[in-house]
Amino acid sequence: MTNTRKDSKVNDRTTRGSRGGRSGVTLTDVARLAGVSAMTASRALNQPDRVSDDTRRQVLEAVASSGYVPNLHAAGLRARRTRMIALMVPSIASGSAFLLAVHAMTEILVEAGYQVMLSERGYDRSRDDIVLESVIARRPDGIVLTGLMESPLARQRLAASGIPVVETWEMSDNPIDMLVGFSHYEVGQAIARYMHAQGKRRVASIAATEARTAARFHGFADEALKLGIAGRHLREGSSLVISPPSQLGHGRTGLARALEGDPGVDAIFSATDMVALGTLMEAQLRGIRVPDDLAVIGFGDFDFACNVSPTLTTVRVDHEDIGRRTAGMLIDRIEGIQPAHPIQDVGFKLIQRQSG
């Protein structure tokens, strides 16, 4: 009967808190319901090895019956931790190449007791200072950046904050803290060498202004010029440039422009698989045989790459490996463990299919 009255009082208080703006169920309420002190209730929830099994059971039953939810913000302030990870990506649009990495990373972080705050960094890096200032002000336990942080002011702020940082998806000898990525420049070089080996001699590229795509283009153009297979656009430095995010239509207009300036183009490296798909569509509408007359190569190995006709030759990066490595390194740094290899190169793989 006594427990029933206590339970009723706690439930009444919860209802008043949700409707009348008063405080909800507290740890003190849980302790009273369980018949223990507030200190014992706290230990049962946060240091279970310091209380008996019966006491912990009583407290957990009180938590369940009262609907109590621990105040993680207050606990974080006491422990000087927020249990929050800030994850900044250029885009969270459907089909984004970053989503698989985000999923793998989040699974590990959540299992380790962290919550992920996902925000769009955008492709315009001039916004980095503003966006990052807001993120640092929230004092997350760790920050993950998709891409390198180029702003000197932002780099200075990150270093001064003392917050563990992992930059991803690119490669650098001088990261702010830790780095998990690969060389986009080397991706471009590898594709040019592959086209040369396939007998292509007038190659072009549909590039983008976004830094990672631009790096792939420069690697591709430099290697194509070195091998003597650069088409007119590459020789004259008049690349076919699009603005991110990459879209299907960019591939169609890109191929049209390439053929207008150089009808002899026999291979195109597209900024992403989505752009490459548009290139394939435009080629088919024009009656251009792929890969006999025109080879088309993308980047990303999206789900549709192996299902379109012809299937798409592309470059695969292990997105999930990036996510897993990033989460592991970040958790270690938060726990005070210095990574043996703060810079990790996951590499890439060229997947040969029907389009080139």
pLDDT at 242: 77
Give the pLDDT of residue 351: 98
Q: Is 353 inside a domain boundary?
A: no
Neighbours of 156 (CB within 10 A): 11
- Given a cut of 80, is residue 234 above it in pLDDT? yes
Question: Confidence class of residue 240 from pLDDT cuts 50, 70 and 90?
Answer: confident
Residues 86 and 196 in one domain: no
pLDDT at 119 over 60: yes
**CB-based burial of residue 52 (10 Å sphere; 0-12 exposed, 13-18 middle, 19+ buried)?**
exposed
**Number of structural domains in the chain:** 3
Domain CATH number, residue 100: 3.40.50.2300
The helix (H) or strand (E) run that includes residue 37 is none
* Helices H / strands E in the chain, number of each: 14, 12
Claim to verify: residue 192 and residue 288 sit in the same structural domain: yes
10 and 120 part of one domain: no
Per-residue pLDDT at 38: 85
Residue 33: domain span: 2-70
Domain check: are 63 and 96 in the same one? no
* 225 and 337, same domain (yes or no): no
Given a cut of 70, whether residue 198 has pLDDT beyond it is yes
Q: Give me the pLDDT at residue 19, please.
A: 36
Last residue of a domain, one of 70, 104, 126: 70
108 located within any domain: yes
Clarify whether residues 236 and 334 are in a common domain: no
Residue 59 included in any domain: yes
Question: Which helix H or strand E contains 293, and what residues bound it?
Answer: none
- Identity at 120, one-letter amino acid code: E
Residue 229 pLDDT greater than 90, yes or no:
yes
Domain finish residue from 15, 40, 70: 70
Q: Do 137 and 228 belong to one domain?
A: no
pLDDT at 350 over 50: yes
How high does pLDDT run on average in the chain?
A: 85
Task: Say yes or no: 159 and 206 in one domain.
Answer: no
Q: How far apart are CA 33 and CA 65, in angstroms?
A: 9
CA 269, CA 247: separation in Å to the nearest integer?
Answer: 15
In the chain, the percentage of residues whose pLDDT exceeds 90 is 56
**Are residues 8 and 35 both part of a single domain?**
yes
Residue 178 shares a structural domain with residue 244: no
**Direct distance between the N- and C-terminal alpha carbons of the chain, in angstroms, rounded to an integer:** 78
Q: Does residue 352 sit within a domain?
A: no
Instruction: Look up residue 250 and give its two tokens.
Output: 């960019």
Q: Is the dihedral of CA 137, 166, 327, 318 positive or negative?
A: positive
Phi-psi region of 183 (alpha: psi -120 to 50; beta: other; left: phi over 0): beta
* Together in a domain, 195 and 178: no
The C-alpha atoms of residue 299 and residue 279 are separated, in whole angstroms, by 13
Q: Are residues 312 and 190 located together in one domain of the fold?
A: yes
Most confident of 42-46, 97-101, 252-256: 252-256
Residue 22, phi then psi, degrees to nearest 5? -80, 170
Structural domain includes residue 199:
yes
State the angle between helix axes of 319-334 and 99-111 in degrees (0 to 180), rounded to the nearest 10. Answer: 30
- Provide the pairing of β-strand 84-89 with 115-120: parallel
